[in-house]
Amino acid sequence: MDELRSGHICWLSSILLACMLTAACSRSMTEDLSRSSSDAIIENKGSDTIVNLALAWAESYQDSHSEVRISVTGGGSGTGIAALINASVDIANASRKIKPEEQAQAEANGVLPVEFVIARDAIAIIVNHENPVDHLSIDQISDIYSGAVNNWRQVGGEDRPIVRLSRETNSGTHVYFLEQVLRGGDKNDRTLFSTDTLLLPSSEGISAEIRQNPNAIGYDGLGYVTEDLKVIAVSLDATGPFVLPSPETVDSEQYPIARDLYMYTAGEPTGEIKAYLDWILSSEAQRIVSELGFVPITP
């Protein structure tokens, strides 16, 4: 009888312990879910030029702000701005200014884009190391990409056909290059890329093609240029001076193909979005700009 009673007590104790553990686990899961649901989520999308910088910023910021989660995706400046217009993103990254027609679309949709300059960049002209050409004027680059010049011999190189590489039309870098290099900043100019220009979806695609093709020419943000690519010195006109891109020549305004990089928000940012943008403009975040090969702005 005592053995039966003892067994019954052990059985009841086991059930009680299991219930207590289940309740504790349930409470812990509820607390975790509650904690997760209260986290701020910032959606950040757009420019492929900025995406690596945006990812580095997000990682660094989240290390010291565990209550914030930042989702970063690329797709091009046009994709980011379109998402802002549709109110499906908190911050749009762009390597060009928002276009007047995009501004109008946003306002028609009840969205007022607010612009922040978050870094600066140089667009480097890159070729294969086997290419003997080491300098070009803006006019020569325009002639190459418009199709007026088709052989490297015409610009001081060897008798080889020129293979033109460009980013796709949704890229802010493509738009900037078209407007400021091919068209020389003239809003009435209607020069277009030569129809045989190869449009590639990423900076990495342009770099990979140039590494294996001695006839190719491309352009890319300075932060994406590696030592196995040859960078061309550029001048405003044929008389020079011909200048290589660097943070120093961008700051001094000597390098002629330089631009601001942007983030856009829907209206004046508040709460966690404002706190994050304030941090991006701080000296701590701007150090990351330098580390990745871009040009920091003064906080």
Q: In this predicted model, what pLDDT tens digit does every residue of 224-246 receive, in sequence order? A: 999 999 999 999 999 989 999 99
Please give the pLDDT value at position 296.
Answer: 95
Is 297 inside any structural domain? no
- Reported as a single tens digit per residue, the pLDDT across 91-138 is 999 999 999 999 999 999 999 999 999 999 999 999 999 999 999 999
Q: Encode pLDDT of 27-49 as tens digits.
A: 444 334 333 445 799 999 999 99
* Residue 254 reports pLDDT greater than 80: yes
Give me the pLDDT at residue 144, please: 98
| Residue 177 included in any domain | yes
> Can you give the pLDDT at residue 27?
42
**pLDDT at position 17:** 44
Q: Does 26 reside within a domain?
A: no
Instruction: Indicate whether 86 and 155 sit together in one domain.
Output: no
Spatial CA neighbour of 145 closest among 218, 224, 95: 218
Q: Are residues 103 and 172 in the same domain?
A: no
Res 250 pLDDT > 80 = yes
Average pLDDT score over residue span 57-79: 96
User: Does 34 reside within a domain?
Assistant: no
Question: Structural domain tally of the chain?
Answer: 2
254 with 125, same domain?
yes
SS3 125: strand
Is residue 59 over pLDDT 50? yes
Q: What is the pLDDT of residues 166-200, one digit of tens each?
A: 999 999 999 999 999 999 999 999 999 999 999 99
3-state SS assignment for residue 57: helix
Residue 158 covered by a domain? yes
Name which residue leads in pLDDT, 23 or 158. Answer: 158
| Structural domain includes residue 3 | no
Asked if the structure places residue 25 within a domain, the reply is: no
Q: In the prediction, which pLDDT does 138 show?
A: 97
* Percent of the chain whose predicted confidence (pLDDT) is above 70: 87
| CA distance linking residue 203 with residue 49, whole number of Å | 8
Same domain (yes/no): 83, 130: no
Q: What is the structure's pLDDT at 288?
A: 97
113 lies in the same domain as 138: no
| CA pseudo-torsion sign 273, 275, 279, 282 | positive
Domain identity same for 245 and 265:
no
The reply to whether 203 and 129 lie within a common domain is yes
Q: Return the HEC string of 23-46.
A: HHHHHHHHHHHHHHHCCEEEEEEE
Q: Do residues 79 and 116 share a domain?
A: yes
- Catalogue the E-assigned strands of the chain: 40-46, 68-73, 91-94, 113-127, 135-137, 163-167, 198-200, 216-221, 230-235, 258-266
Token pair 């979005």 is found at 273
Note whether 170 and 199 are same-domain residues. Answer: yes
pTM above 0.75, yes or no: yes
> What is the model's pLDDT at position 299?
56
Q: What is the CATH number of the domain that holds 84?
A: 3.40.190.10
Considering the domain architecture, whether residues 216 and 177 belong to the same structural domain is answered as: yes
Measure the CA–CA gap between 175 and 35, rounded to whole angstroms. Answer: 43
pLDDT reported for residue 50: 96
Q: Are residues 177 and 270 in the same domain?
A: no
Are residues 45 and 83 in contact, defined by beta-carbon separation less than 8 angstroms?
A: yes
How would residue 298 be classed by pLDDT, with cut points 50, 70 and 90? confident
Rounded to an integer, the average pLDDT of 9-14 is 46
Same domain, 196 and 150: yes
Domain membership flag for residue 135: yes
Residue 266 sits in which domain range? Answer: 39-120+261-291
For the ranges 13-27, 72-86, 123-137, 142-156, the lowest mean pLDDT is seen at 13-27
